Structure 1
Amino acid sequence: MESAILIAENVSASYRKNTVLHNVNFKVNQGTLTGIIGPNGAGKSTLIKTLLDLHPRLSGSVTFFQQPFKKAKKRIGYVPQRGSVDWDFPTNALDVVTMGLYGEIGWFKFPSRKHKEKAYEALKKVGMADYADRQISQLSGGQQQRIFLARALVQNADLYFMDEPLAGVDAQTERAIMFILQELKRNGKTVMVVHHDLQTVADYFDHVLLLNRTVIGHGKTEEIFTKENIGKTYGGNMRWLIGEEEKNVVPSYH
């Protein structure tokens, strides 16, 4: 039996007096690629931040590799939403990626040539080596997202959290990012991705976590990503485009 590398038990969180997450429970096994799916305001970003101690928990417990986050954080990579970053900060792409190595370098030390080479290799993986010296403010949205992904990759983490890495990127960048995420999975890494496009869920993820303040369903995509469960997650705010088979039902919004 597989042992879970992430266990969340009865996790609740709030903003001011509004409960955003309520009794969230799930376990994640190694080598899975999970889409975190739910409507706007469902608590998807808050879930990641709460798991990573970036937002306080009201209750519950979280363990990574049988340890609390503080002891396991070197094994965890995080890509926040692109909109949460000050892209006007005067730095270039290579320096941003090198920041992913600060746990290895130390905060008050300068990166060595070896560290810069690691960062450059990560840029090559995401197709951004030619932009190493480019100021991040001069990059397109898709290019900025690739830089963020490279910063996470250079950490060589075992578990990655990514908050809407495909939001606002072109089709070519989306394919490139998903290829990298699927390659991470093939290499035994574990990836959890906040994702908003329901039509690509079945193609992109082998597991899903359906969330609307609490977990509606979690498990293998073919078992959990059903019309019934999606209806429970999104409520009655949807119409259904029914394909040839019941499982191919694709929801869309009014």
Structure 2
Amino acid sequence: MNVLDVRRLSTAYQNKVVLDSLSFSVRKGTLTGIIGPNGAGKSTMLKTLLGLQPKLQGEVEFFGKKLETEKKRIGYVPQRGAVDWDFPTNVLDVVMMGLYGQIGWLRIPGKQHRQKAMEALDKVAMTDYATRQISQLSGGQQQRVFLARALVQQADLYFMDEPFAGVDAKTEQTIMSVLHELKEQGHTVLVVHHDLQTVPRYFDQVLLMNKKLIAHGPTEKVFTTDYLSKTYGGAIQWLEGGFNGRHPVKQ
């Protein structure tokens, strides 16, 4: 069963094409790494799929239906830099924002809602920070809070935009543990990711793009030097044990 079907999706920004006729489908219960160079349109693609960025053309279906009817089944973790972390609120309140689709914006959260939020914080090892102001958190802690907010939605499909950017190794492993758990439970996750060394360990599916779709499929078939060369626009130097650094090196 496909949870996402994208057909001929295109969009532009300031008269420049950012996405050029992308078509692909995502199966239920997969963990997909979205890979490509800076400026490839990865974040724009997520925003366009979610209706946060207008499209020029194309069709997008979630669970065989339009976005408007399926929003409650979708979770989204934006880039940390896109969030106003100076907003005067604490960690628990941020996580409970993920429940407003169930509670309603004009209703006061009840005890059961707070319990769900605390359980989500426990999964990302942040329960001790529940009353802390979000402006007082480190970058890694902030990312964990936003992951908890997505988890509390209990969505079927999750989009995550660079969840590992600026986090420490411990936080990265915590996040990956949660993502693998979601996959094992039958949820579907798509992650914009930059560290090529970790791709084979982290994802069972890979989507390579550079404005256009280069390749999409099982990691062992798609994550190759040939496809990566096409994605990054040049020959890729492969070293024993992985790529040279966090980004590919052109020969």
**What TM-score, normalized to structure 2?**
0.96
2:204 & 2:174 partners in 1: Cα distance? 18
Q: Deviations over 1:113-169 (max 9, x none)?
A: 111111111001110000000000000000000000000000000000000000110
Query: Is contact 2:160–2:190 with CA below 8 Å preserved after alignment?
Result: yes
**4+ residue runs of structure 1 moved beyond 2 angstroms?**
241-244, 248-254
For the residue of structure 2 that corresponds to 1:130, the secondary structure is helix
2:84 & 2:130 partners in 1: Cα distance? 18
Structure 1 unaligned runs (5+)? none
Q: Deviations over 1:27-68 (max 9, x none)?
A: 000000000000000000000000000000100000000111
Correspondence for 2:217 among 216, 219, 224: 219
1:176 & 1:113 partners in 2: Cα distance? 27
Q: Give the AA of the match of 1:121.
A: E
For the residue of structure 1 that corresponds to 2:148, the secondary structure is helix
2:248 & 2:37 partners in 1: Cα distance? 12
Query: Is contact 2:228–2:236 with CA below 8 Å preserved after alignment?
Result: no
Q: Deviations over 1:71-123 (max 9, x none)?
A: 01100000000000000000000000000001001111111111111111100
User: What is the CA-CA distance between 1:10 and the residue it aligns to?
Assistant: 0.1
For the residue of structure 2 that corresponds to 1:13, the secondary structure is strand
Q: Deviations over 1:216-238 (max 9, x none)?
A: 000000000000000000012x6
User: What is the CA-CA distance between 1:249 and the residue it aligns to?
Assistant: 6.1
Does residue 1:57 correspond to 2:55, yes or no? yes
**What TM-score, normalized to structure 1?**
0.95
Correspondence for 1:15 among 13, 16, 20: 13
For the residue of structure 1 that corresponds to 2:237, the secondary structure is strand
Q: How many residues align?
A: 248
Q: Deviations over 1:192-223 (max 9, x none)?
A: 00001111111100000001001100000000
Identity between Structure 1 and Structure 2 (%): 61
Correspondence for 2:238 among 222, 238, 241: 241
1:123 & 1:232 partners in 2: Cα distance? 40
2:236 & 2:100 partners in 1: Cα distance? 47
Correspondence for 2:22 among 24, 28, 32: 24
- Which residue of structure 2 aligns with residue 252 of structure 1? 248
Correspondence for 1:106 among 86, 104, 107: 104
Q: Give the AA of the match of 1:165.
A: P
- Which residue of structure 2 aligns with residue 167 of structure 1? 165
Q: Give the AA of the match of 1:122.
A: A
Query: Is contact 1:227–1:249 with CA below 8 Å preserved after alignment?
Result: no
Correspondence for 1:202 among 196, 200, 203: 200
For the residue of structure 2 that corresponds to 1:162, the secondary structure is strand
- Which residue of structure 2 aligns with residue 133 of structure 1? 131
Return closer, same or farther for 1:90/1:249 CA change in 2, 3 Å cut-off: closer
